[in-house]
Structure 1
Amino acid sequence: MQSAEPKKALKISLSFENNMDSKVIYIGSSRQLFIDDYLIDKSSGIKFAVNSPVKTHEKLIIADCPWEDIMVGPYCTVMDDDGVYKMWYESYAKDNDMKAMGFLCYAESEDGLVWRKPTIGKIPFRGSNANNIVFPNEGKLYHGGTVFKDSVAEYAQRYKMVYAIHADGLFGAYSSDGVNWSTYDGYLLRNQCDTQNVCFWDGCIKKYVCYVRHNVPIRNPNVLRTVGRSETEDFLNWPPVETVLSFDQKDPPDMDFYNSAAIKYARADDVYIIITSCYHHTEDVLIPQLATSRDGITWNRIDRKPFLELGKTAAFDSGMIHTCVGQVIRGDEIWIYYRGIEKKHNQPYSLTKYGGTITRAVLRVDGFVSVDADSQEGFVFTKPLIFSGNALEINCKTESDGYMQVQMDALEDCQRHLISERLAGDMIDKKVNWPERKLRELNGVPVKITFKMKNSKLFSFRFRD
């Protein structure tokens, strides 16, 4: 429900002395998310808030096949691939010696909700090829892989995968269709890459980027898991990993980062997201936490609360949660897929039978972090910005007695300013109306933006034609 009240002056006086000495940020028409204070010069009466997605409790994929007789997951990739929803998920089964064997399985869906496990007929399991296993070939090992679509590769290698065999290295594979895979020779990276390994092509820096487990015994021999990163122009040659996300003094002494599930957010040029499963050793559980970044290197955790809470006792996600790599954006929603399991980390696999459930949680687009104001009016004053476009769209939500209002002021001429109507309601990509002047008057010149808000949440904004 959207509504607009008559314009009321913000009555904010901005000082423009020496403003041109401040660094002007060119944002053009790219979408700006409030994941941190990068754009903010000063503020009052506001706070940053991490917004958790809403669990659906759906059982989208369960362990119901012999090659999943231990469990499905924990590591999965999901993508909307030209209108077909595709998922690559890990499964574990007992071999003849009752040891765990890892496989990469494939599922697909027309709507992201009803999934089928097609018979691929490629990899034998217990004497039959009637399964949806796509990797590895018989007698080979596999663990912790994720798939990405390489936009700069030749057709035969447009799908790529990074995975672990042993804890001391990262390996790679390629495919033209995501089903029939060939492996690259040797290691891609010598590093302790146990658990989920993530890779993608970052068009902003024109390089491949990978995020892997990086064990650094900072606290003690057990609490040592961090997220490491490497980047390269050549997919087959990677420099050593550097730690980019680690625990600190604000974290519990028994907690470290089990994996990354890193993505580059599709709706913004400079937003990277990690939903790491934090391993709490004493309780023996894994609980996701959100980290955000502007460059994929320097990471910020707004707060340390769970991004997804564990389910209640005996629920299918009461022991560990691992989010899937990838992002599915449907309309105004982000669908965050995850694998939940009742099993705790150190409980033996021999006690787990057909465990694990892949489900999803729903978040509004751009909704990872917001700037919030309560019943006392809050203000956000941006740094000097240069934009491109003739319209301003914002993503915000107000309570029934709340509102959002925007003022724009040219730095070089304090008489050139715009004041918007007051906005109220739940708005995504809502065009802001300026009753008296046209936004194009400020196009291409340094401006400061003021957001005046009450009982509301501000997620993002964008200029466009």
Structure 2
Amino acid sequence: MPLTKHFTTASLRGVGTILATILLTAAACSGESPKDRLPQLHLAVDKSYGKPPHTVKLQATLSPVPLDLRQHPLLSWYEDQTNASCVEADGAALHMEGNAAKMIQLDYTVTPNTVLSFDFQCIQQGEIHAIGFDNDRDLDIASAQRMFVLHGTEGWGIANNVYRQYQPRQGDDGWVHYRIPVGRYYQGTFKYLAFMNDHDVPTPTANSRFRNVSLVETGEQPEGPQIRWDLGDEQSATDAWAVSHTYERPGLYVIRATVTHQGKHIASHKVNVRVKHPPDVRRTLFLDDRAIQKTTGVQRVVHRALKHPGNPILVGDQPWDAYRPQVYGTVQFDAQRNVFRMWYLAIPSHVLSPDPEPFVGGFKRIGHTTLVGYAESQDGYRWVKPKLGILSFNGSKANGLVNLGRDNSEGVSIIHQPQDPDPLRRYKAIFWEHRVEPTTAPTGRETLSTDPRGDGMWVSFSADGLHWNDFSGNPVIPQGSDTGQCVLYDADLKQYVLYSRLGVGRRISRSVSRDFLTWSQPQLVFAADGGDPPGTEVYGGGFSRYEGYYIGTPWMFYRGTNQRIDVQLIHSRDGIHWQRTAGRERILPNGPEGAWDSGIIFTACQPVVLDDRILIYYSAFQGDHHGHPERDWEESKRYYRGGIGVATLRRDGWVSLDLVYGGGEIVTHPLLVPPATADDDTPRLLLNTNAFTGDVRVTIQTPDGAPVPGFENSNNLHGDFLRGEVTWPRGRTLAELVGRRIQLRIRGRLARVYSFWFE
């Protein structure tokens, strides 16, 4: 069978990027059956060398051969009344009409890594359109726990199903692609793959089409030196790919890709990738052993953020936030205006309050409605609430409220993109909008909002962060997330990433979008596990990109024990697979009994990284989650009003590797010495270290461990350095080593090492 190999390079003007793509595929020969088709492998190497950080990214995606449904006889199950089903497109598609239910026998073992991939089309909606695994041909409770409902008028199927969002795009002829990680929902060996087109009416007209159905086992590809792997390796029952790379000389890598089909090697390709600047110029942190070959006499320590002595720095002292200000919201530093900006959840009252329910924007709201308050600060510690004159509260616009959403805009997360070519979209917000009717009757005039848009996740846009325009097509996700949302822009993926609790209960899900309007199906990415106390849940969290990592500050809710919430530290390389950092240490613990933050703590969706500080803004209150309804209004105010505080870490201060009293050392994996990023053409090695009571020194050695002559022992660093430059005797500099593969051997005693980097 002929095999085509395609390789192209293209220069993308303005972003300093060269894209190299390999496509390995079989020629589409006329008359070939699906079982003869070969898989496709797309391998993309993206080399970015504009402004630092310089990166090399390798992406690989396998498109496995879909199931040939002609090789699997269609079996009826449940109420297959109309029996109007057929296989189309040379075995690649199943068409179902009326009230139909079909199965094919696969005898497939669903593992934690199993992904079900397919396209779905529906022209006429019925009651249930679904797909899933089963072990018999009866419809029972077990069936409901395994079927993923994609569309339909009836509520049925697997719990927490986030895939019931059939929304075809214009121009796609109604087809929507699904990629369901079945192994995250259930596992085991199953006899059948089942399809349902349920329309139990006298004259059923519903229809469903499923095509390109495939089962893929996904696995994480380990990171190789000098290359960040963006996607894991994949294999199906018949197809697999493998990618490797080797370093040839400074600036040159060789990428090799192979594809196998039914156990046989069918294709391979090699391409040289030239890189102007090596990729290792980001700061290297020690959240995990990503950069480390070995350590001796070293302890990894998670550092608790230092709470500001003046906390809380913002309290509910205005009518619109009198009950509670809370950072189910966003804090940013605006470098253009040199000011800190805060958008926070403002709650004016409470169900126990004797005060009348407020009017907001002319409409009546519940007392504990969730509004969006705004505050500013020159230093990040002393805040003011300017009177914005935007939204009326009890008949007056002299307040600090911005107008986001319809009734209850909860958990607003805002990003600022000054480079957006549309000036009206440079601020973007996403939040949970939901209607809660006031408990008291209207006052004789129309006092309830008549906005017809439904509940769910809404987005809004602004030129200045104050005057907002809600998207006319809201909700962009027809589900709610009863927590603080967290959205960020990943420049590597060129996507917006949303962390919330969409469809997963008190756990964390992830969804992505390229335009902030069309979002992927939420995917479960983080949850409590057996290492947590019984009954622990994840109430929400803050998430950000930091020096090549994703950093998370999950809010751990101890529902099964003391009903309190504190904050741990987690990290990830891809934003999907998360690790607890150095165990389950708390980066923000509850305060002592009776303190303002002794009960519950929530962080803002991202920290503020400014100069040599990391500022973590958080809201807290004294009461626990139980709420104690027996308390009266005055007690409730004392326990649950709380406020907003701030805690600080030094730059890169999430984790350190501590060198013990008797001496310790850290040996890195091999890395390249990059050219200088400054104008003096002499690269420098810098350490973020606290060696105030000890000392640190560095040996540069070859990848096989031999010291490089002249770089055996650096001059000692003694003191507390946020940017400690490593120097060597007799004026030796790293200019002599540019482009060489080296290892760093960091040695010392009684010192904390937070990070290192070249510049």
- For the criterion TM > 0.5, the same-fold answer is yes
Deviation digits for residues 83-127 of structure 1 (CA, Å, limit 9, x no counterpart): 111000101123258641010011111221221100111111112
> CA offsets, 1:354-412, max 9 Å, x none?
81211111111100011112112212111111131311000011252x22111112338
Say whether residues 1:195 and 2:483 are aligned partners. Answer: yes
Q: CA deviation at 1:152?
A: 4.9
Counterpart for residue 64 of structure 1:
317
Aligned ranges 1:180-219 → 2 under 5 Å: 180-184=467-471, 185-214=473-502, 216=504
Q: Is the contact between residue 673 and residue 734 of structure 2 (CA under 8 Å) also seen in structure 1?
A: no
How far residue 331 of structure 1 moved from its aligned partner, in angstroms, is 3.4
Q: Which residue of 1 aligns with 2:716?
A: 422
2:689 to 379, 396, 411: 396
Question: Which residue number in structure 1 is paired with residue 443 of structure 2?
Answer: none
| Map 1:445-456 → 2, pairs under 5 A | 445-456=740-751
Q: Does 1:112 align with 2:367?
A: no
Q: 1:186 to 1:49 in 2, by over 3 A?
A: same
- Assess, with a 3 A threshold, how the Cα gap between structure 1 residues 345 and 413 changes in structure 2: closer, same or farther: closer
The equivalent of 2:574 in structure 1 is 295
- Asked if 2 retains the 8 angstrom alpha-carbon contact of 1:159 and 1:176, the reply is yes
Contact 1:27 1:385 in 2 (8 A): no
Query: Which residue of 2 is the match for residue 383 of structure 1?
Result: 669
How has the CA–CA distance of structure 1 residues 285 and 74 changed in structure 2, closer, same or farther, with 3 Å as cutoff?
Answer: farther
Residues 1:136 and 2:415 are matched in the alignment: no
Q: 298, 309, 328: which one pairs with 1:75?
A: 328
Match of 2:132 in 1: none
- 1:180-205 per-residue CA deviation (whole Å, 9 max, x = no partner) reads 11111222224441111111211121
Secondary structure at the counterpart of residue 260 of structure 1: strand
Deviates further, 424-433 or 412-421: 412-421
Q: 1:142 to 1:382 in 2, by over 3 A?
A: same
Q: Distance in 2 between matches of 1:182 and 1:98?
A: 23
1:458 & 1:327 partners in 2: Cα distance? 22
Is the 1:105–1:135 contact (alpha carbons within 8 Å) kept by the matching residues of 2?
no
RMSD: 2.2
The answer to whether the aligner puts 1:321 opposite 2:601 as a matched pair is yes
1:410 matches 2:696 = no
Give how far 1:337 is off: 1.3
In structure 2, relative to structure 1, the CA distance for the partners of 1:100 and 1:378 (3 Å cut) is: same
- Which amino acid in structure 2 is aligned with residue 38 of structure 1? R
Q: Which is bigger in relative contact order (C-alpha 8 A, separation at least 6)?
A: 1
Q: Does 2:524 align with 1:243?
A: yes
Aligned pairs for 1:438-449 (under 5 A) are: 438-449=733-744
Query: Are 2:636 and 1:352 equivalent residues in the alignment?
Result: yes
**Match for 1:109: what amino acid?**
S
Q: Secondary structure at the match of 2:348?
A: strand
**Are the counterparts in 2 of residues 247 and 255 from structure 1 also a CA contact under 8 Å?**
yes
Between the aligned partners of 1:41 and 1:433, the Cα distance in structure 2 is 23
1:322–1:191 CA distance, 2 compared to 1 (3 A): same
- Pairwise CA distance, 1:162: 0.7
- The answer to whether the 8 A contact 1:50-1:368 is kept is yes
Q: Report the AA paired with residue 172 of structure 1.
A: V
SS at match of 2:665: strand
Separation in structure 1 between the aligned mates of residue 366 and residue 293 of structure 2, nearest angstrom: 60
Measure, in 1, the Cα distance between the counterparts of 2:320 and 2:705: 69
In structure 1, the residue matched to 2:283 is 31
SS, match of residue 736 in structure 2: helix
Alignment match of 1:159 (pick from 427, 451, 465): 427
Q: Secondary structure at the match of 1:225?
A: coil
Q: Are residue 262 (structure 1) and residue 543 (structure 2) matched?
A: yes
Distance 2:430 2:516 in 1: 10
What runs of 5+ residues in structure 2 fail to find an aligned partner?
A: 1-222, 227-277, 350-356, 359-364, 436-454, 677-682
DSSP-derived class of the 2:534 partner:
coil
1:206 deviates by 0.9
Shift of 1:257: 1.1
User: 1:270-297 CA distances to partner (integer Å, 9 max, x unpaired)?
Assistant: 0221111110112111101111222222
Q: Distance in 2 between matches of 1:84 and 1:105?
A: 17
Contact 2:299 2:660 in 1 (8 A): no
CA distance in 1, matches of 2:503, 2:586: 22
Q: Which is further off, 59-68 or 183-192?
A: 183-192
Distance in 1, Cα, partners of 2:398 & 2:645: 25
1:180 and 1:103 map into 2 onto residues whose CA distance is 14
Does structure 2 retain, via aligned residues, the 8 Å contact 1:286–1:320?
A: yes
> What CA distance in whole angstroms lies between the structure 1 residues aligned with 2:224 and 2:500?
35
Unmatched tracts of structure 1, length 5 or more: 1-21, 217-223
1:283 maps to a residue whose letter is: N
Question: How far is 1:43 from its partner?
Answer: 1.5
SS at structure 2 position matched to 1:339: strand
Q: Supply the AA of the counterpart residue of 2:755.
A: S
Please name the residue that 1:12 is paired with. none
Quick one: structure 1 residues 23 and 164, their matched pair in 2 at CA, closer, same or farther if it must change by over 3 Å? closer
Q: Is the 8 A contact 1:71 1:352 kept in 2?
A: no
Given that 1:40 and 1:382 are in contact with CA atoms closer than 8 Å, whether structure 2 keeps it comes out as: yes
Q: Counterpart amino acid of 1:294?
A: R
1:52 lines up with 2:304 in the alignment = yes
Cα–Cα, structure 1 residues 405 and 272, in superposed 2: closer, same or farther, change >3 Å? same
Identify if the C-alpha distance between structure 1 residues 412 and 371 changes in structure 2 by more than 3 Å, giving closer, same or farther: closer
Contact 1:151 1:201 in 2 (8 A): no
In structure 2, C-alpha distance between the alignment counterparts of 1:214 and 1:304, rounded to whole Å? 24
Amino acid at match of 1:320: I
Counterparts of 1:78 and 1:85, CA distance in 2: 7
Aligned to 2:51: none
Decide which of 356, 359, 363 is 2:649's aligned counterpart: 363
Equivalent pair of 1:367/1:459 in contact (CA under 8 Å): yes
Task: Tell me if 1:122 matches 2:390.
Answer: yes
Name the SS for the 1:130 alignment partner.
coil
Q: Is the 8 A contact 1:80 1:86 kept in 2?
A: yes
Offset from partner CA, 1:174-231 (integer Å, 9 cap, x none) = 1101001111122222444111111121112111111111454xxxxxxx51111112
Match of 1:171 in 2: 458
SS at match of 1:111: coil
In structure 2, distance between residues paired with 1:426 and 1:360: 23
* 1:145 CA displacement: 1.1
Cα distance in structure 2, aligned partners of 1:23 and 1:331: 31
Give CA-to-partner distance per residue, 1:4-34, whole Å, 9 cap, x none. xxxxxxxxxxxxxxxxxx9432543221111
Q: 2:412 aligns with which of 145, 149, 152?
A: 145
Residues 1:311 and 2:591 aligned together: yes
Contact 2:699–2:707, Cα closer than 8 Å, also in 1: no
Per-residue deviation, 1:151: 4.6
Percent identity, aligned pairs only? 31
Residue pair 2:404, 2:470 contacting (<8 A) in 1 also:
no
TM-score, length basis structure 1: 0.87
SS of 2:424's partner is helix
1:211-253 deviation digits (Å, cap 9, x = unpaired): 111454xxxxxxx511111122121101111122111221112
After the TM superposition, which of the residue ranges 359-368 and 336-345 deviates more from structure 2? 336-345
For residues 160 and 98 of structure 1, what CA distance do their matches in structure 2 show? Answer: 27
